[in-house]
Amino acid sequence: MSRYLIISFVGGALFGIMDFLINANAYAKRLFEAYKPIARTSINVPAGMIIDLVYGFVMAGLFLLLYKSLPGTTGYTKGLSFGVMAWFFRVAMSAASSWMMYNIPASALVYSLVVGLVEMSVLGILFGLTLRP
């Protein structure tokens, strides 16, 4: 149980750090200019960190629940497959919705898809290498 708590916290913190690096860099800011008319003028960083920490606990818990049904024989492959699955449900579906609903440049959607795949894969591999049911 303590391993789960520690890894969940680490995963959530890593989630927050990666979100910051992915969204706060100059390239991303330029790509996401299309969202400017509907974007907030400032970000509530404490709320964002709490949300990312909660995500860490939820994702680690889901990984443990799904562990035996994930493809692969090693923790690494199970973690990677979990990361790809999380990417599909969290990032790919969001990008598809944004493409359908908003006038967003394709480059912004591709950026979100690629960096989201890296982010979810890193988290999945972390869980795969450190957590077992």
Q: Tokens for 103?
A: 């006038």
Q: Tokens for 80?
A: 């990677």
Domain extent for 10: 2-130
**35 or 120, higher pLDDT:** 120
User: What is the tally of structural domains in the chain?
Assistant: 1
Q: What is the pLDDT of residues 89-128, one digit of tens each?
A: 999 999 999 999 989 999 999 999 999 999 999 999 999 9
Q: What is the pLDDT of residues 37-71, one digit of tens each?
A: 888 888 888 999 999 999 999 999 999 999 999 99
